Structure 1
C-alpha cells in the first residue's frame, strides 16, 4: 500500500460575507466533524481555538482517516470585522442599500448576465431588490388607501385601516426577509459592488496581509499540502489571496498550492466592468501550474453560479489548467427525505459544503481538510464538468 501523500497539512479558510467570527466557525467545524466521524468511521479530534495573529485564529485537528494519521493546522483568516463595518443595521439603511446595489448591478449588466447564464443566481441577486420595491409600492398603496378612508369615514376609519394594514405589511416584509435571507444577500451584494469599484481599501489591505501570510507558508517545507479554502464570497477572496501570494513567491521556488472554492458566486464581481483587477487575478490563478484549483458548486444551491467556470470569458492560455468544476452531489449524501428538506432551505444548502453528510459519500469536507490525500489526488478520478447549461436562458452566453 502506498504511503499517504499528506501527513501534515495547513488549511487557510476564508468565510463568506458573515459577521460571525472564528468562534462560530470553530464550533461548526468541531460539531460537524464529530457527526461526520460517526457516519464515515473517521477519528477526528478538534483542538481548542487559539489566536495566532492579529487576524488569524487556528485550531489543530488530529485525524485518522482511511487508515492514516494526519495532523492539520486549520487557520481561520479573519475579515468578519470588515463585514460588520459594511453591515447596515437599520431597516431603512438596508432598504437604501438594497435598492442602490440592485440598481448598480442592473446598470452594469451583472443581472442580465446572471439571468442568461444561471437563473437561480439571478433570483438570488434580483429577488430581494424587487421584493423590497414591491414592499415600498404596497406601503404607498396602504398610505393612499388610508387617505381615502380619511375622506370617507374620517380619522377614526383611517386610523383603524392603518392600524390593521401596516402591522400586517411589516410582518409580511419580516417573514419574507427571514425565509429568503434577503438582508444577508443584499449586504453582501452592496459590498461586492464597492469592492469591484475599488472602494473597499480595508478589505484590499487585509487580502494583501493574507497573501503575505500564505506566501510565507508556501515557502516553508513543514506541510505536505497547503490548502486554501474559500466559501461563498470567500471564494472570490481566496482567488485574490492566491494570486497575490503567487506574485510574492520567488521564481522557480517549486511551491504548490491547493485551492478549493465552494459555492462560488464570483461572477457577481468578475462581471462588473470596473473589476478588471479581479479579472486579472482570475487569469493569474487559472493560468498557474503551481495551483490545483477545484471549484465545487451544487445546482440546488441558489446562492452560487452552479458549475459555471469562474474564468468564463477570460483569455486564459490554451494550456492553462483553470478550475476543475465538480458537483458535490448532495442528493447522494442524504436520505431522500432529508435531502428534500435541505434542498428547499437555501440558506442551509449554501452551507452544506462545510457540514457533515448523513450517509457515506464522495464529497466529505473533513476528509478533504484532514485526510491523507491531497485535493488533487482525492478527486483525480472525477472528470470535471465542462459545459453545464441547465440554468441558461435566452440562449445563454456566447462562448
Structure 2
C-alpha cells in the first residue's frame, strides 16, 4: 500500500501463545479491552459476536472509527488450544517430571547458557522453575532422611514428627511459589518448545501448514487492504513459521500487503536448539523477505520474553535484509506511575499487556494497530528500530 492510502478493510490473523484458553476467552478480552481503550483514546470500536469461520479458525468483525476514519476488520483467532490441552500435564508429579526433563534438555543444548549471557530475565524465567523444583525435591528428601535417621537413632518420636510436619509446609510453599510465578505455565510451554525443536509435534506442524494455506489464500484476496499476522509469546514463533510457509505458496509480490507483528517473543528458546534447523530456515526466509513488514515489539519489563533481542540474531541473512524492526512499547508511558509499578511486578499481566488497553494515550495502541486506518508499517514509520540492546547481557554477551 502507498503510505498515504488508508486501510479500509483489514484481516487480522492472531496466533496466541501456549494457552489452553480458546477463542471465547480471547474474544472477551479483545471486546473488553477495546472498550477501555476507546474510552481513553476517543476511538469508536464495535466488536461483533464470535463466529466459527472455518476449520480451527474462529473470529469476529470489528467496526471502528479511529482518527476520523472508518475501518472494517475481520479478526481471526487461529486455534491451536486443543493441541495445548493435549500437551498439558495435569498432575503435579507429571508436571514435576516435565519441568525437570525440559530444563535438563535446555541446559544440555546450550539454550540456558545463551539466555544467561544474552538476556538474564529470560534466563530466570526459563531456569528458575526447574531449579526451584529441584531444590524443593531435595529439601523434601532431606527432611525425610533426617526424620527417619533421628527416629532410628533413638531420638524422641516427637522430634521426628516435628520434622515430618515440615513436609506439608514445604508442599504449600512450592504450590504458592508456582502460583505467584506461573512456573507451571512456563514449564509446560518450554516442554512443548523442546519437543517442537526436535520435530516431535507432528500435529502442530500440520496445523501450521493449515494456517499457512489459509494465509496464502488471504494474501491473494484483493478485498483486504492489509493482512496483519500477529503472534504473541510462543505464538510469535508459530507466526514466523506460518509467514514463511505462506510466502512459499504465493507468487512474487503477492505478499506486499502482509504485515507481521510479533509480541513478547521468546524465539531464542526454539532457535537456539541445535535440532531446530527447520525453524532457523524459516526465520531466514521471513527476515530476508522484502515483501512483508515485520515489527517485533517487546518490553524490558516483560520477564517472559527476550526483550529487544533480534529474533534473527546470528543467522545468515543476506546483506541488506530488512529483518525485524524492534520496538519497545514503552509501557511506563501508558500508565500512571502507581499502575505501572503494579503491572511491572505482575509478570503474568505484564506479558499480556501487549493485548490490553492503556490508562494514558500513547504510541503503542493494540486496538489502533488492529482496527485503525494506518498500516503497521506506516504507524511506526517515524520510529527507529532498536539496534543494539545490551542492558540484560552478562559475561560479555553474545559475540556478533
Answer yes or no: same fold by TM over 0.5. yes
- Give the alignment of 1:302-313 within 5 angstroms: 302-313=303-314
What displacement does 1:303 show? Answer: 0.4
- Give the alignment of 1:1-399 within 5 angstroms: 5-151=6-152, 152-153=154-155, 155=157, 157-162=159-164, 164-253=165-254, 255-399=256-400
For each residue in 1:183-232, what CA deviation from the matched residue of structure 2 results, as whole angstroms up to 9, or x when unmatched?
00000000000000000000000000000000000000001000000000
- Kept after mapping to 2: 8 A contact 1:6/1:374: yes
What displacement does 1:255 show? Answer: 3.9
- Kept after mapping to 1: 8 A contact 2:233/2:264: yes
Secondary structure of the 1:362 match is coil
What displacement does 1:144 show? Answer: 1.3
Secondary structure of the 2:160 match is helix
Secondary structure of the 2:248 match is helix
For each residue in 1:243-275, what CA deviation from the matched residue of structure 2 results, as whole angstroms up to 9, or x when unmatched?
000001124446431000000000000000000
**Unaligned residue ranges in structure 2 (runs of 5+):** none
- Kept after mapping to 2: 8 A contact 1:4/1:68: no
Secondary structure of the 1:293 match is strand
Give TM-score, length-normalised by structure 1: 0.98
Query: CA–CA distance in 1 between the matches of 2:329 and 2:251?
Result: 35
Secondary structure of the 1:60 match is strand
Query: CA–CA distance in 1 between the matches of 2:4 and 2:289?
Result: 28
Query: CA–CA distance in 2 between the matches of 1:160 and 1:318?
Result: 67
Q: Tell me how large the CA RMSD over aligned residues is.
A: 1.2
What displacement does 1:159 show? Answer: 3.4
Query: CA–CA distance in 2 between the matches of 1:168 and 1:62?
Result: 53
Query: CA–CA distance in 2 between the matches of 1:4 and 1:28?
Result: 30
- Kept after mapping to 2: 8 A contact 1:219/1:255: no
- Kept after mapping to 2: 8 A contact 1:149/1:161: no
**Unaligned residue ranges in structure 1 (runs of 5+):** none
- Kept after mapping to 1: 8 A contact 2:247/2:255: no
Query: CA–CA distance in 1 between the matches of 2:185 and 2:15?
Result: 17
- After superposing on structure 2, the runs of 4+ consecutive aligned residues of structure 1 that deviate more than 3 Å are 152-157, 251-255
Secondary structure of the 1:304 match is coil
What displacement does 1:4 show? Answer: 5.0
Query: CA–CA distance in 2 between the matches of 1:254 and 1:310?
Result: 21
| Higher mean C-alpha deviation, range 288-297 or range 250-259 | 250-259
Judged with a 3 Å threshold, the aligned counterparts in structure 2 of structure 1 residues 254 and 242 are, in CA distance, closer, same or farther, namely closer
What displacement does 1:52 show? Answer: 1.1
Query: CA–CA distance in 1 between the matches of 2:10 and 2:257?
Result: 12
Query: CA–CA distance in 1 between the matches of 2:75 and 2:329?
Result: 22
Secondary structure of the 1:380 match is coil
